[in-house]
Amino acid sequence: MIEQEYLTYCLKKIEEKLQWQPSHLWKESDFVKLSQIISNQSNISISPHTLKRLFGKIKYKTYYNPQLATKDALVKFLDHDNWQHFVSKIKSEKRDIIPIEKDYKIKKNLFSRFTLVAGVVLLLILVGVVLPSQRSKNNFMISDDIFDVINSVGSVPFTVSAKYNLSNFKSDSLNIDFDFSHPIRGKQIIKIDKNRSTHNFTYQIPGYYSIDLLDQARVLSSKKILAKSNGWDSYVADETNRANYWIDNQINSKDTTGYLYFSPKLLHANGFDINTVFYVTNRLYADFEIDGDNFELKTRFKNTKSLGGITCYDFILTLICEKKSNYLKLMESGCSQFSGVKMGDKIIEGTYENLSSFSFDIEGWNTLQLIVENKHVQITINDELIYHFDYTEPNGKIVGIENIFKGTGMLDFIRIQDLKTGKTFVDEF
């Protein structure tokens, strides 16, 4: 066996242990969640971007062979000491794993035959012989009269109507994925009743969602939904499930300090366990009408031990845009492995780069300024430019702001201004 065969087997066992839907159906939030679970269990940081490479969501080379630390993290999630221990155990048990080389040859022969058949099919398409019913099944060829969403923007609680006319489709594997995971009922993917024409779904948690029409794993159509907030919503979650947003972990009151802040005393009074590692997330979704590729953001924050922060103290800012989700992770000095930034298609991670400048004063207030102009990014902390870079793929308009503190931290204000139109959002709490 070769290294890649062990890695393929490892990923298969991870998928079996999670008992989620098949990995080819996973969304960005699933990879973020898995990253948090593995990183917390192994004490080794493994990014969602790396996981997407491993599970084939991002095209890489013929085989992607990550660094040893990443493989150690993966197998620690499977309760092995390290990668070598995992490989040795497989060898000792003589597991029956199909070699990748053999599998590749089989696929190659099938591909050769497929190429010949595909050529014939293409010729038939060109002369108009392929039946209309077959053409309608091609990816991204579904018209709005076949699948559409009524009322794509609204404030929570917000009921969306998915309208469809699928009686002519022969497939019995048609589903609608509402891009929401309920803490009890799980992922909200419903099987379509082709005898009906509407399925309603209520979003109780603000967010920017993608409603997908699926034929098995194939996405036939995708519609974006903005479920707007009624002011800031804040949540408490443990480190294994930071992306858990639901009514039972929402904070219903805040300290009357003039800041966006929840003291440990207040959280305890609201029934939250503060004797373990936890995170506080603040979220706001709205029609900001601000260009995600041309804006200036300024905010003032504090995360200290006296406030209830937990080492490594951090400040994470996420900007959700129509096309991309972006983030900036700042840490206390010495914890730069966990720092990082993503804007558009550009991802820079402290695991692989020296991001020691992505730190802040853990004793007092910090001012962050983020300027994005024509896809050029400048990051300034306390009036010092710490990083700048360019990206290429556009973000679209900003539709959501999220802030995460490890433990409890304070936000003094946040201001975002569109550099072209002057449109401004300000909140001083």
The full 3-state SS of 90-141, as one line of letters, equals HHHHCCCCCCHHHHHHHHHHHHHHHHHHHHHHHHHHHCCCCCHHHHCCCCCC
Amino acid 118: pLDDT: 53
232 close to 282: Cβ distance less than 8 angstroms: yes
Question: 104, 102, 231, 228: which is closest to 157 by C-alpha?
Answer: 228
Beta bridge partners of 342: 327, 347
> Residue 384 contacts by C-beta under 8 Å, 6 or more apart in sequence?
none
146, with CB counted inside 10 A (0-12, 13-18, 19+), is: middle
CA distance 288 to 134: 42
Residue 265 has which token pair?
A: 């005393």
pTM for the model stands at 0.68
Question: 365, 368, 402: which is closest to 387 by C-alpha?
Answer: 368
pLDDT in tens, the chain (429 residues): 578 888 989 999 999 888 888 888 888 888 888 988 888 888 888 888 889 888 888 766 556 788 888 899 999 999 898 898 899 888 887 554 544 444 444 444 444 454 445 554 444 444 443 333 333 334 445 788 899 998 899 999 999 999 999 888 888 889 999 999 888 888 899 999 988 999 999 999 999 999 999 998 789 999 999 999 999 999 999 887 788 899 999 998 877 778 999 999 999 998 999 999 999 999 999 999 999 999 999 999 999 999 999 999 999 999 999 999 999 999 999 999 999 999 999 999 999 999 999 999 999 999 999 999 999 999 999 999 999 999 999 999 999 999 999 999 999 999 999 999 999 999 998
Residue 353 has which token pair?
A: 């780069």
CA distance 428 to 4: 52
Question: 8, 14, 19: which is closest to 79 by C-alpha?
Answer: 14
